Structure 1
Amino acid sequence: MKRILVPTDFSPCANAAAEVAMQIAKRSGADIYFLHLAIDNAGPASVPGKSVITNDPEIGQIRQNLDQLVKAAEADGINAKQELYLGTGQEKIEDFIKPYQIDWLVMGSHGATGIREMIIGSKTQRVIRNIKVPSIVVKHMPEKAEIEHIVFASNFKKDTSHSLNIVVDFSRLWDARLHLLFVNLFSHLIEENVARLMMAKQMEKYSKIDYTLNITETNDKEFGISKFASEVGADMIAVSIESKSLLGRLLNPNVAEQLINHSSLPLLIVNQK
């Protein structure tokens, strides 16, 4: 983890995402890029990755807000930068991942009213389906700074090593207990001992990680995951998705979208593709 991108419109959920990103950066040593997209009535900027200078009063206020975020991060010993991009309003978060060499994305969501649109105009659904870097979606300011319990939900019927590597490393960063959750659908039930063996086998290569193996039997993936997270007092939910997932494989993006919509916990999403 070297560079974290934090899109912001300075709303409460965006500020919550910024706070989470700063907590992560303090532990990981990553740099933070605070990004704000604005519509340029005079004409679009050239390319993502290049800021634009203007004397517009509104833009001046935006720069002040970005300055405050950078100063708050620097006060915690974090290397932070601000990026203001003026464009047409059609820009996508994905466009800024490669130019800034971003490897993590932390973004805010308004939840039920904002599920179809991200805080700076991009579709949450499209973003979590298309980006290759891990993303964390935040709706509310966390009640505590520490992350002690993380639930990783999957069907474990396919090699999840890519996602597990990321989730395990993130758990180690916080010295958190990782609760693996096998989502066992009533329509395609797998015997409990088989499910536990599948999870245990994928965890064999990891050391120095505190984890538990768990199973939820349900017809509603989102409900089963949320219920279990509540039972263990989770501080974060992690899911591995696959854009073209088949029934019985990894969780599909719709599950992540439902969790964003209904769960109050930060959601770590890893696209398996």
Structure 2
Amino acid sequence: MKSILVPTDFSDCATAAIRTAADIARNTDAEIRLLHVYERPIYGFVDMSVDHEQNRKIKADLWEKLHEAEKHPSLEGLEVNSSLMWDKPAWEAIAHEEFKDHDLVVMGTHGASGFKEMFIGSNAEKAVRLSKIPVLTISKHEKTFSPKKIIFASNFYREVESVFGTIKKLAHQFNAEVHFLKINTPGNFEATWYSERTMKEFAERVGFKNYVPNIYNDENVEKGILNFCNSAEPDMVAIATHGRTGLLHLINGSIAESVVNHFDLPVLSIRLEEVESPTGVIFPY
């Protein structure tokens, strides 16, 4: 890992993300880039022209805050720089060409609920859906980020092989134990022997031997992951996302986004590569 991008709004959640990114950077020799986005002030709703004088003052103040954030005690001794962007939400800014070569995005999440969750969502939720870079979301930072027990929740089909490399590297870096988790639901039930075989064959294909298989039954996948984690007490959850957008996202939703929005644990979300399927369903093969 060479570089970590950390969007910040200078909140407590953003500070938790900075501290987590610092912990990761110390273990991987990565550099950190802080990113803040804002909307430029305008004169009114008619001509929508930018108030340049006011904008200069705002930029100067924001750069001062970014430079102050660079001095956070957790970042001491690390290579840190900052970027300032405008007129873009954070989830759109991280997809900018300037940041495409970063290996990981670490961002705080405030969560969202109800009407806002359905139609707007949180910045972290949208970043999970749209970012092509793996996103680690943090809601709080109570201790040094050094995961020793990682839950990888998946169907363990071939489509997921492309994302496991990131999880594998992170587990190796922190000497973490990886637990494979398959959630069985009433609408998508598998026999235990079949799920165990699917996990075993997945592990063989990705060259990963030291995993702990787990099969958990619940009414839906999100509740299954949450309830399993409540008893297993992991340090982090890893999950893949299809990155759905538009009407398809509104209808089908995203397990990864829902987990990010409702979990206190650090959640690593990795977007799956595009896979063509005439039926829209990917089967194990």
Same fold (TM over 0.5): yes
Residue 32 of structure 1 corresponds to 32
Change (3 A) 1:82 1:213: same
Pairs within 5 Å for 1:252-271? 254-271=254-271
Aligned partner letter, 1:257: E
Aligned partner letter, 2:220: D
Residue 98 of structure 2 corresponds to 99
Change (3 A) 1:216 1:72: same
SS in 2 for 1:204: helix
Matched residue pairs, number? 252
Residue 248 of structure 1 corresponds to none
Work out whether 1:64 is the aligned partner of 2:67: no
SS in 2 for 1:180: strand
1:205-262 Cα shifts (integer Å, max 9, x gaps): 56686421111112211111011112221111110122359xxxxxx75212221222
CA distance in 1, matches of 2:176, 2:10: 29
What runs of 5+ residues in structure 1 fail to find an aligned partner? 45-53, 246-251
CA distance in 2, matches of 1:218, 1:262: 17
CA distance in 1, matches of 2:242, 2:208: 28
Work out whether 1:195 is the aligned partner of 2:176: no
* TM-score, normalization by structure 2: 0.78
Pairs within 5 Å for 1:176-187? 176-187=176-187
CA distance in 2, matches of 1:102, 1:175: 23
Pairs within 5 Å for 1:114-133? 116-118=120-122, 123-133=123-133
Change (3 A) 1:91 1:215: closer
SS in 2 for 1:203: helix
* TM-score, normalization by structure 1: 0.81
Change (3 A) 1:223 1:72: same
Structure ranking higher in helix proportion: 2
Change (3 A) 1:109 1:95: closer
Structure 1 runs of 4+ with >6 Å offset: none
Percent identity for Structure 1 against Structure 2: 26
Larger radius of gyration: 2
Residue 158 of structure 2 corresponds to 158
Change (3 A) 1:241 1:147: same
RMSD: 2.7
Aligned partner letter, 2:217: E
What runs of 5+ residues in structure 2 fail to find an aligned partner? 43-48, 246-251, 274-285
Residue 47 of structure 1 corresponds to none
Change (3 A) 1:26 1:144: closer
Residue 138 of structure 1 corresponds to 138
Residue 109 of structure 2 corresponds to 109
Deviation at 1:174, TM superposition (A): 1.0
Pairs within 5 Å for 1:13-52? 13-41=13-41
CA distance in 2, matches of 1:32, 1:109: 19
